[in-house]
Amino acid sequence: MSTTPSPGPTAVPATDAVPLPTREPDAATLAQADAATLAQADAATLAQAAERAAGDLLAPPARHRLADVVPAPQQVQPDPTGDWVLPAEAVIVATADPAALAVAEQLAHLLRPATGYPLPVTDATTPEPAGGIALVLDDTVDLGAEGYRLDITTDGVRVTASTAAGLFYGVQTLRQLLPAAIESRDPVTERWALPGGTITDAPRFPYRGAMLDVARHFFAVEDVLRVVDHLARYKLNHLHLHLTDDQGWRIAVDSWPKLTTLGGTTEVGGGPGGHYTKADYTRIVTYAADRHITVVPEIDLPGHTNAALVAYPELAPDKIAPPPYTGTEVGFSYVDPADERTYDFVADVLGELAALTPGPWLHVGGDEAFKVKGEVYTGFVERVQRIVAGLGKTVVGWHQLAPAAHLDGRVLQWWGTNGEDPTTAEAVRRGARLIISPGNHAYLDMKYAPDTPIGHDWAGLIDVRKAYDWDPGTHVADVPTEAVLGVEAPLWTESVTSLADIELLLLPRLPAIAELGWSPRATHDWNGFRDRLAGHGPRWETAGITFHRAPEIPWSTTPAIPTQRNVPQTDTTKP
């Protein structure tokens, strides 16, 4: 994390007022070439160059300001003389390294549909923009594991980073600086102008996440991949999957097959439920990893386990199978902490899940186990923590885990609504780190307003400003910023039954949480955020993404392209 004070986007003057820049002097010079030169040159090339020069001289500056990015970049230095228009013949050149070339292919994949340009990808030892886009992997660049530098000049675009993740984030920024029509799935006639200047950027926190509850309602792999796309757009790097709960068990476990064949067949409201095979889960993990997103799988223990007890009554305290549960109450179920068989179950389930999960984390829940109290609860959690450590993973759990003994590296996910929490602060003093998910700011299952058609309100209403106006670094009393690993926006799905429902609750609040996780605090400014966010409405519309037209945001009313297309699609074509 950089502590260097930066001007941030709010300190950057609007470029709209600057005089029209002169672009592409070569083309302009060509247009004025004398008759002798004209006679020798290829007429068609000259005509094309003259047309471009005239067009550029008449053309307005790039529509977007360099600072119009969500999350706000660390440093923005606009250069109005550096505006650049992506030409049809542009080439994307990347460092000859598989990870850099993969990002180059992803960029080409993003730009080809709307531009209709071929945008071939090539490699080079020292890539140069040369009128196109260069992605440069350079390990001498000191911007951390995720930082990048983006230079837009009249010679093209250069993204420089020391990691492929940094290049990927630079590409997300680039995408936002292009006209909104870039989101179109079909070719659009557009001037693909980018604002000139330099962005130097790196995240404030290493953990920036969102959670999807696939237990209360089950969601198909395609829906989850689409959520991954949304996370990637806003530089989030963790997807927490809440895989098990009272209403359904969603991940195949070979050693306990009935967890899914019985426990996976229910959901809130009586629908059919469903589960992920190991291949499904791996597909999600791989798709996320390709977008530099780590999956954090959660098996909620010892409570929230009715579906497991339906499948395996031997785990229940009374050894009697409870009826399947399709309501929305919490806190009634638990696996028997006094039975050794329970720990076999935990070890088997977490062992199989760990083997499928390349990321370092296993989330073990721990919330609302109202019937497992005091030392029985802490004793259970401590054994589970040791099982996780034995699998070579780092334990994450809801902050109810706080009273249990510390274990190296452990992370508590804080979901309180009041920042005074001495028990969590004490766990931090013993070494715990926090992921901050305040129920009354970051819970995306809360309604925006009383008339939001789905969602809860137990933690209050969360409009966009409420989602944005808080600071994860100082939110929990007596917890220093250094103990904060990052921020996460959970989406519980008791009332959420479709991808459109997910998107309605995610957007536009997910970008608010993403900005809290990424941007330096010095850039925090509600009015600036609101204005930057406004431009994303036409992007989502063009991409066929559902969102809530929050009245606080001055949404742009100009459609990105004259004829709107609204075909929802997942960004699944592998580069």
Q: Which residues bind ligand TNX (CB under 6 A)?
A: 330, 367-368, 398, 415, 443, 445, 456, 492, 494
β pairing state of 121-124 and 197-201: unpaired
What is residue 1's three-state secondary structure? coil
User: Which amino acid belongs to residue 290?
Assistant: D
135 vs 310, beta carbon nearer ligand TNX? 310
152 vs 502, beta carbon nearer ligand TNX? 502
- State in angstroms the smallest separation of the CB of 456 from ligand TNX: 5
- Catalytic residue IDs: 368
β pairing state of 433-436 and 207-213: unpaired
In the structure encoding, which two tokens stand for residue 87, read together?
A: 């030409």
Give which of 204, 287, 75, 266 is closest to 519, Cα–Cα. 204
* Beta carbons of 496 and 454 less than 8 angstroms apart: yes
- State in angstroms the smallest separation of the CB of 415 from ligand TNX: 5
281 vs 415, beta carbon nearer ligand TNX? 415
- State in angstroms the smallest separation of the CB of 398 from ligand TNX: 4
Query: How many CB atoms within 10 Å of residue 260?
Result: 22
- State in angstroms the smallest separation of the CB of 215 from ligand TNX: 9
330 vs 347, beta carbon nearer ligand TNX? 330
Q: Report phi then psi at 427, rounded to 5.
A: -65, -35
- State in angstroms the smallest separation of the CB of 427 from ligand TNX: 16
**Distance from C-alpha of 125 to C-alpha of 96, rounded to nearest angstrom:** 6
- State in angstroms the smallest separation of the CB of 430 from ligand TNX: 21
**Distance from C-alpha of 254 to C-alpha of 380, rounded to nearest angstrom:** 24
178 vs 444, beta carbon nearer ligand TNX? 444
Give which of 81, 76, 85, 100 is closest to 52, Cα–Cα. 85
Query: How many CB atoms within 10 Å of residue 232?
Result: 23
- State in angstroms the smallest separation of the CB of 491 from ligand TNX: 9
User: Which amino acid belongs to residue 29?
Assistant: T
* Beta carbons of 573 and 290 less than 8 angstroms apart: no
Tally the residues of the chain.
Answer: 575
- CA separation, residue 365 to residues 63, 142, 393, 451 (Å): 46, 37, 15, 31
Helix intervals (H) in 462-550: 464-468, 499-506, 509-518, 526-534, 536-543
Q: How far is CA 69 from the centre of its chain?
A: 14
**Distance from C-alpha of 50 to C-alpha of 106, rounded to nearest angstrom:** 33
443 vs 547, beta carbon nearer ligand TNX? 443
What is residue 26's three-state secondary structure? helix
* Beta carbons of 488 and 442 less than 8 angstroms apart: yes
168 vs 334, beta carbon nearer ligand TNX? 334
